Structure 1
Amino acid sequence: MINAVLVFNNAGQPRLTKFYTQLETSVQQRLISEIFTLVSNRPSGSCNFLPLPPLLASSGTSHTSSSEHNDTPSLVTYRHYATLYFIIISTSTESPLALIDLIQVYVEALDRLFENVCELDLIFNFETLHTTLSEMIVGGVVIETQLEKVVEGVKAQGKVAKRPVNEGRGGGGLGMSMGGNFVGWAGR
């Protein structure tokens, strides 16, 4: 099960925080801070999976003591693209490689919806960001991973912004700042 999806910029400012597990606000805030620090300080050649810090793994969840260990959040999976970190917190029952692919599909969908997405698109058009995520994950369960279906679902809901932010920016998107395609960049 997916417990949370987080998107941060390089300065640690959250651009998306979506929790699928009931947590106290104070635990969410500490988790957001700890996860960013943990992920941003990793060397560039490091693996994109790591164990969840004890903060969430041991407290704040809505599970009872009789819950199975596999239901407890325990894994952080992330990808770093240009100025953004895309992070998924999940249980040990989720495949880390499948989560890396899920992040890739999410980023590719945003790139198609915004035609060369940049951080400002995510700030000013957060509805599209959330709608795209809800086409892929509902209640912590992945329901769709086919890129075309995700993009069409968002478009069918009419949640794609008109993009006044991007007009005339001349290729200043995340992909151009890396000298290549945003979604093709492997990051860390």
Structure 2
Amino acid sequence: MIRSVMVMNTQGKPRLAKFYDFQTVEKQQELIRSVFGVLCSRAENISNFLDAASIFGPDSSLVYKHYATLYFVLVFDSSENELAMLDLIQVFVETLDKCFKNVCELDIVFNYSKIHTILDEMIFGGQVLETSSTELVKAVEEISRLESASNSINLVPKSVSGWRNR
């Protein structure tokens, strides 16, 4: 099971943090700080896999990928494959690139709900649902289309809707 997905910048500011097991806000912040402390002290040529038992408790592993100014981090238990989790980070980043045309940190900050939609289509309740970036983009586009159709229905002036009721 995936325990957490985090995206943080190189200064340690979390840009996305999703925990699939309950953690208080204070505990989440502590975990993010601990993860960043470990990541920023690692050399570039060291493995992207870590035993996270000291941070998240027994049976926890962590995999990360550093892209430009962002760290993408997955925390998971022994039921998940480390290489599959590294590939899942790649799928997430590819999907973000397709949705935002070369994603950057500001895209994540200013499109928070769309980022969560992508993540929810990919991982739900700590379980991986989709690993194809093409399918993820299709799902996100369909959700956006449905949201805009829903919003346009709500934009009908009351005078018009009141006219039908007479």
Q: TM-score, normalised by structure 2?
A: 0.84
Residue ranges of structure 2 left out of the alignment (5+ in a row): 146-166
Does the CA-based 8 Å contact 2:35-2:55 persist in structure 1?
no
Conserved in 2, the CA contact under 8 Å of 1:108 and 1:147? yes
Quick one: which of 104, 128, 132 aligns to 2:118? 132
Match of 1:107 in 2: 93
Q: CA deviation at 1:25?
A: 2.6
Between the aligned partners of 1:11 and 1:155, the Cα distance in structure 2 is: 32
Q: By how many angstroms is 1:53 displaced?
A: 4.6
Cα deviations across residues 125-168 of structure 1 (Å, max 9, x unaligned)? 11111111011000000010011100111111108xxxxxxxxx
Is the contact between residue 3 and residue 73 of structure 1 (CA under 8 Å) also seen in structure 2?
no
* Alignment match, 2:133: 147
Written as runs of structure 1 = structure 2, the 5 A alignment for 1:12-161 is: 12-57=12-57, 73-158=59-144
Gaps of 5+ in 1: 58-71, 160-188
Q: Determine the C-alpha separation between the residues in 1 that align with 2:101 and 2:77.
A: 33
How many residues of Structure 1 are paired with residues of Structure 2 in the alignment? 145
CA distance in 2, matches of 1:110, 1:121: 9
Q: CA deviation at 1:39?
A: 1.1
Secondary structure (helix, strand or coil) at the match of 1:157 reads helix
1: distance between equivalents of 2:45 and 2:90? Answer: 18
Q: Which secondary structure state, in structure 1, belongs to the residue aligned with residue 60 of structure 2?
A: strand
- Offset of residue 55 of structure 1: 3.7
Partner SS, residue 8 of structure 1: strand
Deviation at residue 56 of structure 1 after TM alignment: 2.3
- 2:53, 2:59 within 8 Å by CA — same for their partners in 1? no
| Partner AA of 1:45 in structure 2 | N
Task: Name the Cα RMSD after superposition.
Answer: 1.3
What is the SS of the residue equivalent to 1:47? Answer: coil
Q: Quick one: which amino acid aligns to residue 136 of structure 2?
A: V
Distance (whole Å) between structure 1 residues aligned to residue 88 and residue 131 of structure 2: 7
TM-score for the superposition, normalised by structure 1: 0.74
Aligned counterparts of 2:24 and 2:110: Cα–Cα separation in 1: 27
**Inter-partner Cα distance in structure 2 for 1:98 and 1:50:** 15
% identity of equivalent residues: 45
The residue type equivalent to 2:70 in the other structure is L
Q: CA deviation at 1:73?
A: 4.9
Q: CA deviation at 1:29?
A: 1.4
Q: What's 1:3 paired with?
A: 3
Runs of at least 4 residues of structure 1 off by over 4 A?
Answer: none
